[in-house]
A and B are shown apart, each in its own frame.
Chain A
Amino acid sequence: QVQLQESGPGLVKPSETLSLTCTVPGDSIRSYLWSWIRQPPGKGLQWIGYLSYSGSTNYNPSLKSRVTISMDTSKTQFSLKLSSVTAADTAVYYCARENTALEAIDYWGQGTLVTVSS
């Protein structure tokens, strides 16, 4: 069982930058894509983007201008930064592992609620 865990502030002020981190199993990081997905209250899942071990990224066009997904140098955590947030960015944020061999997301974190409010 692969455990993914999101961490970061649960409250962010409007116009500021939302920052979250996901801890991943160190021995598996090379073979997968590492994704962020969110779910606004009462709505469905929205894909934010992914990062590969090589450092390449792919972002949802609707968020691309505000999103950065990166990996730390230890290769045991990857992070999400979403700038200039508004109330519309309030959501449960999930980190997840995209398994290209399965063409599916095979593991998700529990999710963390981030509220944008002053």
Chain B
Amino acid sequence: QSVLTQPPSVSAAPGQKVTISCSGSSSNIGHNYVSWYQHLPGTAPKLLIYDNTKRPSGIPDRFSGSKSGTSATLGITGLQTGDEADYYCGTWDNSLRVFGTGTKVIVL
């Protein structure tokens, strides 16, 4: 059902870096800003990145976002055990809010 495709999971050891891709099309990512959300089970999702690359106040610079064409990427450096969560990209598609399929980050 999701129009944005993410890998099911990515993993790395503490201190390492992971990247999460979000693939869309010209009707969504290609013409709209991308945001990224961190979701730990049982908690409220948290906004990590907005406007493709910007971090809200309080989000560490270990989290970064980028966008190129119809794809976007979330990067997490200096991976910590507390980063183990599900991550979702989001954008608009013809005035409808859409989310990615979600990626589980596993800290080895």
Chain A residues within CB distance 8 Å of chain B: 4, 35, 37, 44-47, 50, 58, 60-62, 94, 98-99, 102-111
Contacts and interface: CB of A to CB of B under 8 A. Distances in A.
6 contacts: A44-B100, A45-B39, A94-B45, A99-B50, A103-B51, A110-B43
A47 B98 contact: yes
Contacts of A105: 35, 37, 45, 47, 90, 97
Contacts, number: 69
Interface residues of B, number: 28
B97 A108 contact: no
A47 B43 contact: no
B92 interface: yes
A103 B56 contact: no
A89 B79 CA distance: 35
Contact of A98 (B56, B88, B97): B97
Interface of B: 1-2, 32-33, 35, 37, 39, 42-47, 50-51, 54, 56, 88, 90, 92, 95-102
B44 A108 contact: yes
A106 B56 contact: yes
B99 A108 contact: no
Contact of B44 (A46, A60, A109): A109
A45 B88 contact: yes
- From B1, B35, B37, B45, residue with most partner A Cβ within 10 Å: B45
Nearest to B6: A44
B31 to A, nearest CB: 12
A6 to B, nearest CB: 10
A105 B88 CA distance: 12
A104 B98 CA distance: 11
Contact of A44 (B43, B96, B102): B102
Contact of B96 (A45, A47, A109): A47
B95 A58 contact: yes
A99 B56 CA distance: 12
A31 to B, nearest CB: 16
